[in-house]
């Protein structure tokens, strides 16, 4: 899922329509919010809160963005390592290649972050997450969003071409092994409200993945070292509770592209300092908010989850919508 902030950023580099054309905005026309496992609504979001939300399969998103690159500019299937001192070289297949600037986007478990001496450690968020995509149409009765149980959340998001994306989380120890992942999802969510069982039924085993959720243990002190810059999860891996990780990676990339495009003369250090300041501020706030949200959402005790649910039932959707407004907007660097 990508919110309006990602599209505002994509639009600044002329890529908004490319992603819009391959994504679905159907959720904006549905009832969205949070439900309890029996199907009763805890909170209905105002339509403005999901008006800009669009969903796209990750592979489709990559393909759409890659299709815009100049032919031959992407080499995949290659491991690259940066120079430990931040000089703009990368090591590929044992050979060192020099550039003007090196961008590191190797994800939450970034080996390059470690090489640069920027590692702040990872912390297990306390839960694991299954993700699935249905292979046939399921009637979701014009409603989408999340269902909050004790220690578990299930979410449904429509994708293009009548497919659905769903996720399910479970508070459990890290590294837990399930003999049969599909069965484990059925065991956890199979008795929850319709159309959750039907979503699971319509998802073959091969369309289900699971990851333990890790985030950076604390925000990084800097995203840059010399002429090497961190972007995306390598810089600010956060829990998925705000659905903003990829959106922030897009904001990083566009911010850097715009700052570099506008630079005059040889003020690269200044550009990197600006990028560092702007992006650390924004992503640190979201990293914190996402962690807090995860703790509330995964509430495990009968009392804590009851208090959480009551709080949601009593919160006007309008207020919840306002709270997400700043998340969903992005401004070009001035």
Ligand X SMILES: Cc1cc2nc3c(=O)[nH]c(=O)nc-3n(C[C@H](O)[C@H](O)[C@H](O)COP(=O)(O)OP(=O)(O)OC[C@H]3O[C@@H](n4cnc5c(N)ncnc54)[C@H](O)[C@@H]3O)c2cc1C
* Residue 232 sits in the site that holds ligand X (CB under 6 A): yes
Smallest distance, Å, CB 246 to ligand X? 3
Q: Tell me the window of 36-44, 46-54, 100-108, 219-227 that interacts with ligand X (CB under 6 A).
A: 100-108
* Residue 76 or 264 with smaller CB distance to ligand X: 76
d(CA 200, CA 208) in angstroms, rounded, equals 10
Residue 186 three-state SS: helix
* Residue 2 or 310 with smaller CB distance to ligand X: 2
* Residue 107 sits in the site that holds ligand X (CB under 6 A): yes
Cα-based distances in Å from 246 to 14, 15, 221, 251: 18, 15, 21, 9
Residues belonging to the chain: 334
Smallest distance, Å, CB 239 to ligand X? 8
How many chain residues touch ligand X (CB under 6 A)?
A: 25
DSSP string covering 45-103: --HHHHTT-BB--HHHHHHHHHTTSPTT----S--EEE-TT--SEEEETTEEEE-S-EE
Smallest distance, Å, CB 330 to ligand X? 13
Q: Tell me the window of 171-179, 232-240, 274-282, 315-323 that interacts with ligand X (CB under 6 A).
A: 232-240
Contact in structure between 305 and 299 (CB atoms under 8 Å): yes
Residue 322 three-state SS: helix
* Residue 80 sits in the site that holds ligand X (CB under 6 A): yes
* Residue 240 sits in the site that holds ligand X (CB under 6 A): yes
* Residue 42 or 249 with smaller CB distance to ligand X: 249
* Residue 167 sits in the site that holds ligand X (CB under 6 A): yes
Smallest distance, Å, CB 128 to ligand X? 9
Nearest to 122, CA basis, from 237, 244, 232, 285: 237
* Residue 325 sits in the site that holds ligand X (CB under 6 A): no
Contact in structure between 279 and 331 (CB atoms under 8 Å): no
Radius of gyration of the chain (CA): 21
* Residue 12 or 303 with smaller CB distance to ligand X: 12
* Residue 263 sits in the site that holds ligand X (CB under 6 A): no
* Residue 79 sits in the site that holds ligand X (CB under 6 A): yes
* Residue 19 sits in the site that holds ligand X (CB under 6 A): no
Peptide bond into 195 cis (omega under 30): yes
Residues that bind ligand X (CB under 6 A): 1-2, 79-81, 105-107, 111-112, 129, 131, 167, 211, 213, 232-234, 240, 243-247, 249
């Amino acid at each position: 899922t990508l919110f309006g902030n990602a599209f505002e950023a994509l639009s600044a580099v002329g890529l908004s329509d490319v992603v819009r054309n391959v994504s679905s905005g159907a959720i904006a026309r549905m009832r969205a919010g949070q439900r309890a496992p029996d199907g009763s609504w805890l909170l209905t979001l105002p339509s403005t809160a999901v008006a800009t939300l669009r969903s796209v399969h990750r592979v489709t998103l990559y393909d759409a963005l890659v299709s815009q690159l100049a032919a031959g500019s992407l080499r995949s299937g290659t491991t690259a390592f940066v120079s430990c001192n931040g000089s703009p070289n990368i090591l590929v297949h044992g050979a060192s290649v020099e550039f003007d600037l090196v961008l590191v986007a190797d994800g939450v478990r970034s080996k390059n972050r470690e090489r640069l001496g920027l590692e702040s450690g990872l912390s297990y968020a306390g839960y694991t997450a299954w993700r699935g995509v249905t292979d046939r149409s399921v009637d979701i009765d014009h409603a989408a969003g999340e269902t909050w149980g004790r220690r578990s959340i299930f979410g449904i998001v429509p994708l293009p071409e009548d497919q659905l994306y769903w996720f399910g989380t479970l508070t459990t120890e890290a590294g837990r092994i399930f003999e049969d992942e599909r069965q484990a999802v059925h065991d956890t969510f199979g008795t929850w409200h319709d159309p959750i069982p039907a979503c699971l039924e319509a998802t073959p085993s091969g369309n289900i993945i699971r990851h333990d959720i890790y985030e950076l243990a604390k925000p990084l002190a800097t995203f840059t070292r010399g002429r090497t810059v961190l972007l995306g999860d390598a810089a600010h891996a956060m829990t998925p509770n705000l659905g903003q990780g990829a959106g922030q990676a897009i904001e990083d990339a566009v911010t850097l592209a715009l700052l570099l495009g506008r630079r005059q003369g040889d003020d690269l250090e200044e550009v990197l300092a600006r990028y560092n300041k702007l992006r650390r501020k924004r992503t640190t706030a979201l990293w914190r908010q996402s962690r807090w949200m995860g703790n509330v959402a995964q509430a495990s005790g009968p009392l804590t989850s009851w208090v959480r649910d009551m709080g949601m039932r009593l919160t006007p959707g309008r207020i919840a919508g306002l709270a997400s407004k700043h998340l969903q907007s992005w401004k070009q660097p001035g």
